[in-house]
Structure 1
Amino acid sequence: MSTATTTTATDKPQPRKPVRQKLSLPVVLLIVAGALVLVSVVRLITGADDITSVGQVSGALELAIPIGLAGLGGLWAERAGVVNIGLEGMMILGTWLGAWAGYQWGPWVGVLFGILGGAIGGLLHAVITVTFGVNHIVSGVAINILAVGATRYLSNFTFLESSGSARKSPSIDPITQITVPGLSDAMKTLNGKHWFLVSDLAGLVGGVVTELSLLTVVALLLIPVTWWVLWRTAFGLRLRSCGENPVAAESLGVNVYRYKYLAVIISGGFAGLGGVFLAEVASNLYQEGQTGNRGYIGLAAMIFGNWMPGGLAMGAGLFGYTDSLNLRSGGTNVHALLLFLVAVLALVALWQLYRKKYLAAAIGAAFSALLLVWYSLTKEVPSQFVTAAPYIATLLVLALSAQRLRAPKAVGLPYHKGGG
């Protein structure tokens, strides 16, 4: 006698959860190319030729580097499972120590001391969170407060006794800058023609080959180096396993404490390097409040980049560009970019309509219409809005990219050796 399998109401197949496809490199490049074409169209319509000029791109790169370095610091820590809200404080320590050593013994010694200052902050964060199990957010906020107070106190009897003051250091010798001969002049010439797309591409290339600090080159190289170490080496695999499943990593012989300590100390070193970049490249001295919350923006760039170096670099570039608008006739440039936002939101609305998400499409269309009205009725954006542009961009980017984010599974969770 054969037995037949029967199905009941409880045996109905469960619906599968939709799996979000990752953006492949060709798709990302296509999006970037489309954005560049759209910017070129906006430039031709508005006549705001400065939005893709060599000077604008060069300034954006200079402002993006410290944000990107802070983001790399956050990436190292969070890939090992430790939330590093203290990046801002570690940047402050790097800025102060880098300036203090830089004006005495030269800029490159200042770079080493800046990295050391950030690493000390990272070590303190690791001791508090990894060893004593304190909440990561609480520890990071405490380090930020401690860094502000410590540097303010130290400035009173170091810079004040020299040619500086209680709020700023003496001038520091600049780090060597390089310009690619021939290519830089050619790109400036092409950019000055204001041709469709060609001049915009020339502005991008010219901005990265003109008056480029050697420290900028080092910082740019750290992005592929981080990718290679974390995704192509056994060390990186073990470190990332501590952020995904530390109990499983421990069962395979990984010293989770050691990797968490190393990751957070390296994280602080990156943030400190970003801080010393502000003191020695973006300017030639230390000033109180110099970091300007770039540690937090770097953390936002890391989240926007989905905890990946390439995405982080794109986020840092976006935030650096919006920040650079303050330096070069910002009101006019931002007013022109309102038209760019109108087009982007209209495209987003059409895409959501295609996906039959009618509410999201209606919201995108409404905001697009409001920005179009704003653009039509004004000739320049108020300076207050220009100043807030980096922070507004941070909120908008995080809101639009939130659906595709995937943090390491164990990030921020307490871990105790043998607790599995």
Structure 2
Amino acid sequence: MDPHTPVTAGAGEGGEEGADRTCWEAGKARNWAGNVSFSAATVHRPRDTDELAAVVAGHRRVKAVGSGYSFSTVADTEGALVRLDRMPKAIEIDAGGSRVRVAAGVTFTELAPRLHERGFALPNLGSLPHITVAGACATGTHGSGNANPAIAAGVREVEFVTADGTLTRLDRSCPGFDGAVTSLGALGVATHLTLDLVPAFDMEQYVWEGLRWDGLVEGIDAVTASAYSVSVFTDWNRTHSVWAKRRAGDPLPDLSFTGARPADGPRHPLAGLPADNCTPQEGLPGPWWQRLPHFRADRLPSTGDELQSEYFVPLDRARDAMTAVHDLRDRLGPVLHLSELRTQAADETWIGPGHGRDSLAVHFTWRLDVPGVGRVLPAVEAALAPFGARPHWGKVFDVAPDRLAARYPCWEEFRALRTALDPGGTFRNALTERYFA
């Protein structure tokens, strides 16, 4: 396994009860999982755009980091690491234009309630709301739903500081815009994004469990179409469940055709963990932002001590891809907490994992076992290679650069855009150099 992508071994100090387990002290900076020890010589937390521009212009290498929930080295740098959490938390809602201009360091926890109060919503959210808006868009983060593209697809304008400290704005009318939102922070440091909004809506969440594997595979199209947002949780062996999130007024999801039954109480995706960490279930209606994520903003997200990987395959190859991973179940078991299957509509972002095709996202929540994951990851990637699997940029992966480049029609366009906007390589790091040098 190449050390650049899965990053360094060593778990850090994980295991705290709080949601924020990151560290941002220079020389000790680490991500939430503790598997990434940042190489940055200095850490900066500017208070406004002028301070940010001065930091960027004054350093040879710069990378911005969001909330620290990425598991790859996408935000690592040997130079200056920049956090935007002290910048003004601008949330400017344009009701007439159904849009919001939001500061890059704002999290979905901070943004979503404000939108709902004004009668607006984002079409979709990721499985946890603790992450920053800019970080989610830069890495291709997504929710679920056959008609729902990645979060970045809703961005209509991005503002960022380039290497010489200049503030640049690109919108949908600009050449290169489709390469500038999901950009891995390789073009500059984002300061603000403007996103499309939809009218606020209420949702209900239902958990079905006890699915048969054959019923799940054969019925995957109907399963993913059963609600506005659908997640399938599986250990690839005996445990399979579906979390169906429907918009109020839509038909009730019915997964009985898979052999499933409604859960008789609240559930955590991983058996044995407290369900009160999760958003309300059992059909209890509530605002979109309190149902679309799996995990509550004030509780520990996901399992805690973990690594994550995720791969996007064409949705029309879902059955074959699921079967290929299922064949590895005995090898996965010792290092796997749980997998999640979600769908995503196609988008136009050049290096977004959903570019140009509707996708099934195959997610792995691993135990915090770097060597163990390193041993099984090549088998997973080999099994999914026939389907042109594209990894999530913020997760652990090791696809060879030439193979990954062949899976993206606009790969060379992104390389050219990066060269044009960052000719001196201020925002390069080991990951982007491996894939886009």
TM-score class normalised by the smaller sequence = under 0.3
The structure whose residues are more often helix, as a share, is: 1
Which structure would you say has the larger RCO, counting Cα contacts within 8 Å and 6 or more residues apart?
1
Which protein is richer in strand relative to its size? 2
Q: TM-score, with normalisation over the residues of structure 2?
A: 0.20
Tell me the TM-score normalised to structure 1 length. Answer: 0.21
